[in-house]
Structure 1
Amino acid sequence: MKKKSLAACAMVLMFGLAAVSQTPAGPKHHVVFQLSEPDGPAWNSLIIHVTNMREAFAKDGGSEVEVVFFAAGLNMLRKTNTAYEERLKKLADSGVTLSACQNAMRLMNVKTEDLFPFASQVDSGIAELARKQEAGWAYIH
């Protein structure tokens, strides 16, 4: 009886370990960027840095990335900003979360329909950055 119980326990353990080892792990790297600068070199640099970082991390466990836009940086997500639309959409399509600060939206009278459809929203840009840091994300300014 003991041998059968022991064998049954061993089988359950083996199947449990096999199931765990087959569970895909999430991305290894978690990075949140901030953009609060007005149009200029910072906007172009942001896209270049995020793209380059994701390419490097693709070889090293993958990445989860969010960019938080507030203050003057919020304008980068506006539909009137056609110069960056295609490149931002490419980032969003690759899995990068592009988050508009709702506080900045209120202060600047920006409505949801004024933003690119691929933009998401967070209640507070600064709070979102703090939440991500508390959760262990790397913070890039």
Structure 2
Amino acid sequence: MLHHVEINVTDLNKTKEFWGWFLSELNYEVYQKWDSGISWKFKKTYIVFVQTEERFIKAGYHRSQVGLNHLAFYADSRDQVDRMTEKLKERNIPILYQDRHPFAGGVDHYAVFFEGPDRMKVELVAPE
């Protein structure tokens, strides 16, 4: 089991808005808060977001560079993937691979892929 993941972000307020609603949909709860960060926890695993220092923001992030490519979460069902897809569209959150959605990961992989505020790819996967 994964203990935690910590991600540096360019805009903590945008991060809280984006990840707050998404993670709450997956039953994560706010775990820790401080001036430059926040974490959400589900069972024993938590995800931490920390405001990047101004001097490091210029370098930027891209999922194709060395480092984290994306985070993938389990959905409860295909229906949850579909409901979340509609909520993402309502929030104008970029959905990736729309031409192959919801099977962008393959014929046996029902999921929605989308981008967070720092263009990190996020995936919500239905059980097989």
For normalisation by structure 2, the TM-score amounts to 0.27
Indicate the structure whose relative CO is greater, using CA pairs within 8 Å and at least 6 residues apart. 1
Structure (1/2) with the larger helix percentage = 1
Q: Which has the larger radius of gyration?
A: 1
Structure (1/2) with the larger strand percentage = 2
For normalisation by structure 1, the TM-score amounts to 0.26
